Amino acid sequence: MRLLWSPKLFPSFVFILVGALAITPVAFLILGSLSTSSILIDINPAKMGLANYIEVYSSPSTYKVITNTIVYVTGTVLFSLIAGMAFAWIVARTDLPFKYGIFLMITMSIAMPSLLQAMAWVLLLSPRMGYINQYFTMWWGRPLYNIYSMPSMIFLEGLRMIPAVMLLMWPLLRKLPASLEETARICGAKSHTVIRRILLPLLMPGLIGVSLYIGISVMGVFEIPGIIGLPARIFVFSTRIYAEVLAADTANYGTASALSMVFLVVLVVGTLLYLRTIREIRRFEVVTGKGYQPKEVKLGKWTKRILLSVVAFYLFVTVIAPTVTLLWTSFTPYPMPPSWDAWNRLSLEGWRTLAAYQELGRTVSNTMIVSVVASVAVIALSFSVAYVLLRSTVPFKKWLDLLAFSPHAVPGVIMGISLVWVSLQADKVLPFNLYGTIWPIALGFTILFLPFGTRAMTAGLMQLHREMEEAGGICGASKLVVFCKITFPLLVPTFTIIFIWTFGHVFRMTGLPLMLFSSEQDQVIGVMLWYMWDSGGNFHAVSALGIVLIGFLLIMGLLLMMLQKRVSIAGEPI
């Protein structure tokens, strides 16, 4: 006999767990921002006040950071939106040769870590040391370009976001009925009228959604502003937090948390707007109906050549140049531009130096453990969430969906700071130490990737007809057997995609683990790269480590590509 209320037990458990994961860090961040305790990272109910807020928001430098961030985010969104739209349009609606190969290569460029891209371009274009600038100084008397500037940050970050824009816009452009354009044209409208009156209004919800998505992502990134902005003291939000905590004489977590608040509010509002727009787009999709082949625009010979060069330039700037630069640098004794003299001085010293790093083994194994644990946890959690969302009838489904998506609003840096608060308060009551271990990092990444996991898992589970599982029950198999023999095998592709995507991203991210960094005990590769670079010495060893990482991530990317051909993850933003 079974009690009638038991079907609600599991959903309630999932709801509470996801709620705790999504809310706890932010709650502690708020408490931390109010803490006026003189002990570092201490939350004491008796010592609460607005002192941190007053300090942060009365300082003019805060407003400079806000302005910089607005410029940085707006610039990046505009640049990546225009370029990404163009790429999406080329692939969806033109007869450009090799367009599917181009599509795959642009998508694959996501595998390239932005930290390494930024480092490589510093090696090429830093005013004194940059290879290109060294040539120009030699021949022309002065350097070509100074990379340490806001436009460079926007350019590189914009390039990073192009694949995402392309992947998001491509399905929308494909679904746009060609007949609408044709009808308008038959009615006598000119091309630009068609674009202005028909295409733009139809694409508007999509464009707004993508802009919000990219804006939310860019606001929290650390890598490119860290490598390119910090040396020139161009602070955006994430690097300001870093400076406040890790680069300051006394780490000030209170003011960093107070500073985070304004951005968190903006991000939450942005995320809610984004969810609204997505609903709007879904409604629109229902109307347009199904399968048809969009008409391809015939391109002229020269247009084709120009477009192909643009694509080649993109791949050169994002993947080829950085990889070649790092490869070259890894064999040089110190950064020097290619020349006959340099060629003769190439050696394996960089690789030997890297191998001699004492903490290397520890760091690699830390990174592995964090990545695997976070990926598996994301899969387990997102499967539970998706299962409740699609297979149960509990009334709080809408809230669970919102909670599981809410970490999307939290950048890695803020998650890092929040978890510093959480783990240090937890250490007061726990019999073991959390802070200084890799577990807060794994927890942080689990929360950060939960929104992606849930979306992908929901899409995967949606394709698995519920009758597949019900048939197992009818045949007399228990719930556990049904899961092991039917649900799990059929979802393996989805699980694998979520695993590889999460693993590949966690493996290289810098912002979150940097905030939680205390010693080599909890160091991961992203942090190690950062500090090796920051110490300014062993550029050849950093490059060597970078090359290993690029190789590893490219393999992961190829694996994902091969799998994705078989399974679609429903064009969901990732």
Partner 1 sequence: MLRVENLRKIYTTDTGAVEAVKGVSFQLQPGEFYTLLGPSGCGKTTTLRCVAGLEEPNGGEIYLGDRAVFSAAQRINEPSHKRDVGMVFQSYAIWPHMSVFDNVAFPLTYGRRRVSKKEIKERVLKSLELVQMDGMESRPAPLLSGGQQQRVALARALVYEPKMLLLDEPLSNLDAKLRTEMRLELKSLVERLGLSTLYVTHDQIEALSMSDRIGVMHGGSIIQEGTARDIYLSPQSQFIATFIGSINVFTGQVVNREKDGDMGLVRSGGTQLTCSLPKEIKVGDDVDIGVRPEVIEVFSERPEAKENIFEGIVEQSTFIGDALECKVRCGDNLFQARAASFIDLKRDDRVFLHFPPARCLAILLKGEDATLSSASSTNLEHSAP
Q: How many CA atoms lie within 13 A of 279 on its CB side?
A: 7
- Counting Cα atoms < 13 Å in the Cβ hemisphere of 377 gives 21
**Number of other CB atoms surrounding residue 144 within 10 Å:** 15
How far apart CA 521 and CA 336 sit, in angstroms, is 34
Answer for which of 191, 309, 478, 521 binds partner 1 (CB under 8 A) is 478
Q: Which two tokens stand for residue 425?
A: 């308060």
Report the candidate in 573, 376, 324 with the shortest Cα–Cα distance to residue 456.
573
Number of residues that bind partner 1 (CB under 8 A): 25
Whichever of 477 and 554 has its CB closer to partner 1, that residue is 477
Near partner 1 by CB under 8 A: residue from 45, 188, 291, 467: 467
* Residue 156 lies near partner 1 (rule: CB under 8 A): no
Ramachandran angles phi, psi of 571, nearest 5°: 55, 25
Near partner 1 by CB under 8 A, which window of 269-277, 399-407, 409-417, 472-480?
472-480
- Is 490 a binding residue for partner 1 by CB under 8 A? The answer is yes
Q: Note whether 3 binds partner 1 by CB under 8 A.
A: yes
Q: What character string, x for contact with partner 1 (CB under 8 A) and - otherwise, covers 363-402?
A: ------------------------------x-x-------
Helix axes 150-175, 60-93, angle to 10 degrees: 40
Report the residue number, 291 or 476, with the smaller CB distance to partner 1: 476
Q: Does 485 bind partner 1 (CB under 8 A)?
A: yes
Nearest distance in Å: CB 484, partner 1: 9
Nearer to partner 1, 4 or 39 (CB): 4
Per-residue CA distances from 456 to 169, 539, 568 (Å): 18, 39, 9
Stretches 194-202, 328-336, 426-434, 463-471: which one binds partner 1 (CB under 8 A)? Answer: 463-471
Where would I find the H helices in 430-566?
Answer: 439-463, 466-474, 479-482, 488-506, 511-516, 525-534, 539-566
- CA-nearest of 230, 212, 373, 234 to 281 is 212
Q: Which is nearer to partner 1, 267 or 486 (CB)?
A: 486
**Which is nearest to 238 in space by CA: 573, 550, 512, 526?**
512
Q: Which is nearer to partner 1, 47 or 391 (CB)?
A: 391
474 interacts with partner 1 by CB under 8 A: yes
| Structure-block tokens of residue 316 | 């050169």
CA distance 11 to 397: 9
Interface with partner 1, residue 463, by CB under 8 A: no
Q: Is 565 in the site for partner 1 (CB under 8 A)?
A: no
The answer to whether residue 276 forms part of the interface with partner 1 (CB under 8 A) is no
User: Closest approach of Cβ 292 to partner 1, in Å?
Assistant: 24
Exactly one of 355, 471, 555, 570 binds partner 1 (CB under 8 A); that residue is 471
Among residues 1, 39, 286, 429, the one that binds partner 1 under rule CB under 8 A: 1
According to the binding rule CB under 8 A, does residue 282 interact with partner 1? no
Near partner 1 by CB under 8 A: residue from 309, 465, 558, 570 = 465
CB 124 within 8 A of CB 116: no
Task: Choose between 248 and 481: whose C-beta lies nearer to partner 1.
Answer: 481
- CB of 477: closest distance to partner 1 in angstroms? 4
Segment contacting partner 1 (CB under 8 A): 350-358, 402-410, 483-491, 554-562? 483-491
Q: Is residue 473 a contact residue for partner 1 (CB under 8 A)?
A: yes
Alpha-carbon distance of 340 to 267, in angstroms, equals 51
Instruction: Rule CB under 8 A: say whether 429 interacts with partner 1.
Output: no
Asked if 377 contacts 385 with a C-beta cutoff of 8 angstroms, the reply is no
User: Residue 62: helix, strand or coil by DSSP?
Assistant: helix
279 counts as binding partner 1 under rule CB under 8 A: no
The reply to whether 2 sits near partner 1 by the rule CB under 8 A is yes
Q: Considering the complex, what minimum distance in angstroms separates the CB of residue 500 from partner 1?
A: 20
Instruction: Please enumerate in sequence order all residues whose Cβ is within 8 A of that of 9, keeping only pairs 6 or more positions apart, or say none.
Output: none
Q: Which residue type does 192 have?
A: H
Q: Cβ of residue 395: shortest distance to partner 1, in angstroms?
A: 6
Contacts of 463 (CB under 8 A, 6+ apart): none
Q: Can you read off the two tokens belonging to residue 533?
A: 């670079």
- Two tokens at 407? 């970490």
The reply on whether position 49 binds partner 1 by CB under 8 A is: no
Q: ∠ CA 309-168-118 to the nearest 5 degrees?
A: 55
Asked if 270 interacts with partner 1 (CB under 8 A), we say: no
Which position has the token pair 């110490």?
Answer: 535
91, 162 in Cβ contact below 8 A?
Answer: no
**Dist CA 274 CA 74 (whole Å):** 16
Residue whose CB is less far from partner 1, 447 or 486: 486
Rounded to a whole number of angstroms, the minimum distance from the CB of residue 522 to partner 1 is 41
Is there binding between residue 489 and partner 1 (CB under 8 A)? Answer: yes
**54, 200, 475, 570: residue in contact with partner 1 (rule CB under 8 A):** 475
For partner 1, give the closer residue by CB, 236 or 482: 482
Contact region with partner 1 (CB under 8 A), list: 184-192, 375-383, 482-490, 501-509: 482-490
Separation between Cα atoms, residue 529 and residue 541, nearest integer Å: 9
**For binding to partner 1 (CB under 8 A), which residues are involved?**
1-4, 7, 393, 395, 465, 467-468, 470-479, 481, 485-486, 489-490
